Structure 1
Amino acid sequence: MDEKTATRDRILQAAMNRIKHYGYGKTTMAEIAADCDMSPGNIYRFFEAKIDIAEAMARKHYAEEQAEMAAIARKKEWPADKRLREIFFKRMRDSYAMFEENAKILEVAEVLVKERPLFSNEQLALERVFLSALLEEGEKAGLFAPADHMFNAEMMQSATMKFGVPQLFSKLTLPKLERELEGVLNLILNGIYARK
């Protein structure tokens, strides 16, 4: 790892620690710089604004999450419908746990939704790639009916949006969210299964 990357990572870690404690709104670039033992002017060489730090933090998180979900999608020993369920449940449970443990991090998600809507769309597009591949695999196995799999993946995302970051949309407990997600996935999968 080169020095620039190491400094960037140090800034992101300092920002994460401060935001977890004080929240996004009460964290300043000067405080993050001080936590890194650098001048406020120096931090701007790496990030133009606090929102850029928030986006970089989210990108790092989503890259890890996407890798984990893609690994589930590649579990050939499971049928495609089981893998789809596991992906959506894992995403919800992990997200729920992260925001329950670090409530102030939810502010980052709220700010990104408002100020960087293209970021969310980009993450959804990346997720659709392996979802549509999984749907196509299910069709080839005779499990799912022939369809436009990219469209179906997009509609699955739309139908399950609430469960991606559940605390943004509701104050339900995890068991209630799991019950709802199970019901939504049952409806979706029943609509795409191949008919005998």
Structure 2
Amino acid sequence: MTETTDTREQILRAAMTRILHYGYAKTTMAEIAKDCDMSAGNIYRFFKSKLDIAEAIVRGFNQAFYQLFAEIARRSDEPALPRLTELFKARLERTYHMMQNKTKALEMADVLARERPIYYVEELAQERIYIVQILEQGRKSGEIKSLDNPNFTAEMLQIALMKFESPRFWADESYEELTREFDGVMKLLEKSLT
């Protein structure tokens, strides 16, 4: 790694630690700089704002997750529908377990959704790449009926399963309740695809 990359990573680690402890709103650039033993001015050389830091944290988190999605999509010798379920279930599990003890992370996600809605549009588009790959593989194997527009179908699957991605919709539900609902919705969606 370069010195610039190391410094950037140091800032992100310090910001993540502070935000998860105190919350996004109660974290300042000066505090993050102090945690890194540098001046606030130096932080601004790497990030224009605290929101840019939050976005970089979430992008890094999601990037690691897309590697899992890519691995699921690469297993083209396996049936498509169980892999599609696996992808969406992994998304639910990640969000549920992350939010269980990290309400401060949810605060940061809410701010990002309000202040940078285009970020979420980009993230959904990235996720759709893997969904489309699996749909196409299922279509080629005959497991999934012919699709006029696989990208549109992938987008509709994301919309149909949005509840399981957003903690706002299930704050009071247990994991067992959520997985029961998820399994029911997935069965309906699978029937529509075959």
TM range (shorter): over 0.9
Q: TM-score, normalised by structure 2?
A: 0.96
- AA matched with 1:173: S
Identity %: 47
Distance 1:140 1:42 in 2: 53
Partner of 2:42: 42
Displacement of 1:180: 1.0
Counterpart AA for 1:118: I
Query: Is the Cα contact below 8 Å between 2:22 and 2:104 reproduced in 1?
Result: yes
Q: Deviations over 1:55-96 (max 9, x none)?
A: 000100111111111111222342100000000011110111
Distance 2:78 2:23 in 1: 41
Task: Tell me the CA shift for residue 164 of structure 1.
Answer: 1.4
2: CA distance between counterparts of 1:169 and 1:2?
42
Corresponding residue for 1:17? 17
Q: Is the 8 A contact 2:33 2:39 kept in 1?
A: yes
Q: CA deviation at 1:154?
A: 0.4
Task: Describe how 1:1-196 pairs up with structure 2 within 5 A.
Answer: 1-147=1-147, 148-165=149-166, 167-171=167-171, 172-193=173-194
Shift of 1:124: 0.6
The one-letter amino acid paired with 2:99 is F
Name segments (4+ residues, structure 1) moved above 6 Å.
Answer: none
Give the C-alpha shift of residue 170 in structure 1. 2.0
Q: 1:118: Cα distance to partner?
A: 0.4
Deviations 1:22-46 (A, max 9, x none): 0111111000000000001111111
In 2, the alpha carbon distance for the partners of 1:101 and 1:77 equals 37
Residues 19 and 104 in structure 2, CA contact (< 8 A), matched pair in contact too:
yes
CA–CA separation in structure 1 for the residues paired with 2:26 and 2:117 = 22
The alignment's C-alpha RMSD in Å is 1.0
Task: Provide structure 1 residue ranges, at least 5 long, that are not aligned to the other structure.
Answer: none
Please state whether the residue corresponding to 2:38 is helix, strand or coil.
Answer: coil
**What is the TM-score when the length of structure 1 is the normalising length?**
0.95
